[in-house]
Structure 1
Amino acid sequence: MPSTDATAEAGPAPARQDSAGPRADATDPRPSPFGRFTVEDDDPDGEDTLDLQLPDDFLALRAGATADLLGRLATWGPVATPVGSFQLVPLRVDQDLPLVHRWMNDPAVADFWGLAGPRKRTEDHLRAQLHGDGRCTPCLGVLDGIPMSYWEIYRADLDPLARHYPARPHDTGIHLLFGEAADRGRGRGSALLRAVADLILDRRPTCARVVAEPDLRNTPSVAAFLSAGFRFAAEVDLPDKRAALMIRDRVLRDVL
């Protein structure tokens, strides 16, 4: 799954920081996305044993189970925002492909998503999200009844992204693009990002953080996340880009 985004609104780039990586040793106070590791010293043969406890969601994925990893997103419903009534509607490829394909070929979008070109390229990407193991739900963002954006809500702790930052269980990630130029640069980006992050935290009580990793070159997108209550946590080197790790913490949601 590409970790990408498109222009939302103008703003300054974040200051550079050193990137951080996940740790899975017993001395790290932060939970590992792959479970808790403990060493037992009461082995009758005098040898230490490793008690590996993996999260149920990870075990379900390994077993091929079709668990609902995102809390029945289709039932989340609309929310009121400063820019109108907004709803995430799970994507239907047969109906929505022409619209998303057109958006992907907008130069402002293509520069960061890399899916411009024939319809088959966009279709392959969308079907991969829809028919995966449940870690990602692709959606249309519908504002006052009009589809105007594309979103991917995904389990960041079960995603390859977790290899590049100190992930915590149930971290939930966001990718997005605004399809029409008229919807960019008007404050809608930060308003809808805040609304979606709040929606995730409200509908997924086990999720303590919403994360995103916009391209560092995309300063308008980074600025929109900052305005939406996300904090800039680190710079991370991903396979296809250098990204700004943005985090919205549940415990800070009322003060940022």
Structure 2
Amino acid sequence: MPPADASTEADPSAEADVRTEADAAGTRPPAAVADPTGDDTLDLRLSDELIALLAAADTTGPADSDLLDAVAEWAPAVTPVGTFRLVPVRIERDLALVTRWMNDPAVAAFWELSGPESVTAAHIRAQLDGDGRSVPCLGVLDSTPMSYFEIYRADLDPLARHYPARPHDTGIHLLLGGVADRGRGVGTALLRAVADLVLDHRPRCSRVVAEPDLRNTPSVSAFLSAGFRFSAELALPDKQAALMVRDRPLRHVL
């Protein structure tokens, strides 16, 4: 099972390597957010009827919108570190790169997906073959793939059993692939950019959430620098977590 933590790296002024859940890598993948019964995100199956109801309930988007409002079509974002875009992962194109990142010791310590390509492939395919509640993406900065993101429906995740989730709450998991991108504010810039992309392209989503390990001070600091606020301490099955929230009404204030 993937880890509870991994980092995104914070602005040096915040003394953070931005971490979205652990050191030098990213936040806990949705499939790694365990629930008390041992089920993980991708084992929670939505019925066809419920998926249809969710789509029908969308009064602000197209009738055929998916659970995450077409991440593949989201526009690029201009950030202080360059032009950034989320590109949904394609196994045949991206597996070797993501596997290499997962075998970086700083990443492997928290994502626990080190090993041959088959390990990473199984993790990614579980999302690609699922109902669309989690979308694995490459983070492309100035045309260079340099990070891995998972954009997921936190309200449909076991995480929702541990906090008062709202419909369409959207979660972010992140790892930075290159050592050169860590510790110089890149992660913080990308966290803010991706949260803004979620809020720009998901009109029904009122907030973006993440759950770094409470002991991971650099991670919490990075989220604060990216406009998130500390909302609560969560007792998750495998860690004490800091529930970090970026609110739509406060996005231009924090």
Q: TM-score, normalised by structure 2?
A: 0.77
Matches within 5 A, 1:1-256: 4-9=5-10, 10-11=15-16, 59-60=50-51, 68-256=66-254
Match of 1:38 in 2: none
Match of 1:40 in 2: none
Conserved 8 A contact 1:7-1:109: no
* Count of aligned pairs between the two proteins: 213
* 2:42 equivalent in structure 1: none
State the alpha-carbon separation in 2 of the partners of residues 118 and 140 from structure 1.
19
Q: Evaluate the alpha carbon distance shift between residue 221 and residue 120 of structure 1 in structure 2; reply closer, same or farther with a 3 A threshold.
A: same
Larger-Rg structure? 1
| Alpha-carbon shift at residue 234 of structure 1 (Å) | 1.4
Q: Distance in 2 between matches of 1:128 and 1:106?
A: 22
- Unpaired runs of 5+ residues, structure 1, are 13-55
Residue 4 of structure 1 and its aligned partner are, at CA, apart by 4.0
Q: Distance in 2 between matches of 1:102 and 1:58?
A: 39
Deviations 1:157-207 (A, max 9, x none): 111110011100110000000011110111111111111101110111110
Q: Post-superposition, which runs of at least 4 consecutive aligned residues in structure 1 deviate over 6 A?
A: none
User: What is the CA distance between 1:240 and its match in structure 2?
Assistant: 2.9
Which amino acid in the other structure matches residue 111 of structure 1?
A
Residue deviations 1:15-41, cap 9 Å, x none? xxxxxxxxxxxxxxxxxxxxxxxxxxx
**Unmatched tracts of structure 2, length 5 or more:** 18-46, 57-63
- Give the residue type in structure 1 aligned to 2:126: A
Alignment partners' CA distance in 1, 2:248 and 2:71: 19
| CA–CA separation in structure 1 for the residues paired with 2:200 and 2:126 | 27
TM-score (norm 1): 0.77
> 2: CA distance between counterparts of 1:57 and 1:166?
25
Contact 2:9 2:16 survives alignment (8 Å): no
Residues 61 and 119 (structure 1), Cα distance of their counterparts in 2 relative to 1, 3 Å cut: farther
Structure 2 Cα separation of the partners of residues 215 and 58 of structure 1: 36
Compute the RMSD of aligned alpha carbons. 2.6
Question: What is the DSSP-based 3-state SS (H/G/I as helix, E as strand, rest coil) of the residue aligned with 1:152?
Answer: strand
